[in-house]
Structure 1
Amino acid sequence: MSSTNPQNHITAHLLANNSLPVSPAWLSNFLSSQRSSIPLTALTQTALFRILASDFKESLSTSKPSVLLPVDISDPAVKERRIPGPVPVQVLDIDDIGTSLWSQIEAIERVERGEAVRGREIVRTVNVGDDDNSNVAEGNGSGNGASSSNNTGNTGHPDPGLGETSSGPHRLMLQDAAGTRVVAIELKPVEGVAIGKLPIGAKMVLRNTTVARGIVLLSPECATLLGGKIEAMDKAWREGRKARLLARVEQMERERAQRDEDDDDVIMEE
């Protein structure tokens, strides 16, 4: 290992290059688990990888307010404000608000049945052997043949239920190192932000971000994806996604029924 103080080097490097204010306690614990013979460059990259797979509340420092979201960021009474940043955040939830709930549920159920959508056909994919990733698509007519890795629906957009990218726009729940949460909406498509492409726990940095009525407005100019994933959170999110979508559909149906009942009461009173 170089004679350069590794803690100081890694702290400065990750702050300058990735806008990540690493927690001294986290970094000290990380370094104590590494061999002294590891080159400093490799050690720095390993630290970055571990941080992107960690919970920011544990791995980042909260000593400077400038790297955190305002605690009242979700206040809808504030018409508009700008957050200079850079503020590192992690993704706790992602929702495709450009696709109907039922379409997303149906896409998930196709995956459960081992089906995919290609053009105007629904095909069933069958794994061929355990040593390769090739699939055979069983369909009708000209649909027979190898299945594409880019499964899309009739609209041409990748199917969000197939582990591919969703069309969006997307709503995200973001969290900073202090645990402050805020809803974010794609004002413009941000590369890499999509269901099936952006895992839960993924990290991004916000710079010169506009917040309107308590909602962060995302665009490529203000959001930089760093990657990463919190494995346990991502697994739980994926396994519970269908149930959450069904619960939202049921809630909407209850609210619709209540509105209809209220309208009937008004008519009777009149």
Structure 2
Amino acid sequence: MTANLAAELTQHLHGRHLYASAAWVQNFLTTTRPNTPLPAIKQTAGFRLLATDITASLSPPPHSVFPQDILRGAEQSRMVSGPIICQVLDIEDIGNSRWSQVEAIEAKERGETTKGREVVRVIEQENDDPSAAVAPVHSRGPFKLLLQDAKGLKIYAFDIRGIDGLNTSMTMGVKLLLRNVDVRRAVVMLEPGNVQILGGKLDTLDKVWKEGRKQRLMDAAKAGGETAV
């Protein structure tokens, strides 16, 4: 029965392009309760797998990772079909100055946000009216990302279109599914039609990245000779 369950779960995950290793599947099944409905097992497995480091949890076939020679950058443009699962290790807003990003972080620390040109003080709402809350404003980039596939290969990517869900407020370790991407000189060009955000994160990476972002921006701004506004 366990073997059949493992096979069915593996097939389900493969259908989502999540090529979990046999060891991961077996370990996951030891944590499930007896008589748990199969749909619940499948849903939980997908959720937990997206919260793992894919370099340790996946056993990907060749077509689901970047070609080994992709970083040579010998070709001006190269199409990679995929689909490729990768995780985001870093994202940088290259459409706004680093000092302006530092100011935005400090405003958030003070509990402030902007609405147009107006500075709005964010306070906890005492009512249940969602229209009273001020929605966070995200930069539209463009963004430079550092991606990693299941074999551990790291490659830079550019989002110049402003893809929904890709911004500096996203969680690090989130998983992306890439299809038919154009790789130019070892840089992946992201387009809305070839990127699917699957979700997930890496808790430790996300915590360290968020806590250190302000200092990294300040250090980079000083090193680059940027002047604070």
Matched letter for residue 14 of structure 1: L
1:164-203 to structure 2, matched below 5 A, reads: 165-196=138-169, 198-203=170-175
What are the ranges of 5 or more consecutive residues in structure 2 without an aligned counterpart?
Answer: none
Q: Secondary structure at 1:200's aligned position in 2? A: coil
1:43 aligns with: 41
Q: How far, CA to CA, are the matches of 1:226 and 1:27 in structure 2? A: 19
Q: How far, CA to CA, are the matches of 1:188 and 1:232 in structure 2? A: 29
Q: 1:150 aligns with which of 98, 122, 135?
A: 135
Q: Note the alpha carbon deviations across 1:70-127, whole angstroms, 9 max, x for none.
A: 2332223332211111110011111111111111110001112222222322233333
How far 1:128 moved relative to its partner? 5.8
Cα distance, 1:178–1:213 mapped onto 2, change above 3 Å: same
Matched letter for residue 104 of structure 2: A
Matched letter for residue 23 of structure 1: S
Cα distance, 1:3–1:25 mapped onto 2, change above 3 Å: closer
Q: How many residues align?
A: 227
1:1-270 to structure 2, matched below 5 A, reads: 5-16=4-15, 18-62=16-60, 64-127=61-124, 148-151=133-136, 158=137, 165-196=138-169, 198-253=170-225
Name whichever of 37-46 and 77-86 sits farther off.
77-86
Q: How far, CA to CA, are the matches of 2:157 and 2:225 in structure 1? A: 26
Matched letter for residue 7 of structure 2: N
Contact 1:210 1:216 in 2 (8 A): yes
Q: How far, CA to CA, are the matches of 2:62 and 2:21 in structure 1? A: 14
State the Cα RMSD in Å: 2.3
Q: How far, CA to CA, are the matches of 1:133 and 1:110 in structure 2? A: 25
Matched letter for residue 74 of structure 1: L
Q: How far, CA to CA, are the matches of 1:201 and 1:195 in structure 2? A: 13
How far 1:15 moved relative to its partner? 1.3
1:262 aligns with: none
Matched letter for residue 5 of structure 1: N
Cα distance, 1:190–1:116 mapped onto 2, change above 3 Å: closer
Normalized against structure 2, the TM-score is what? Answer: 0.90
How far 1:193 moved relative to its partner? 1.1
Matched letter for residue 108 of structure 1: I
What are the ranges of 5 or more consecutive residues in structure 1 without an aligned counterpart?
Answer: 136-145, 152-157, 159-164, 257-270
Higher relative CO (Cα under 8 Å, sequence separation at least 6) belongs to 2
Bigger Rg, structure 1 or 2 = 1
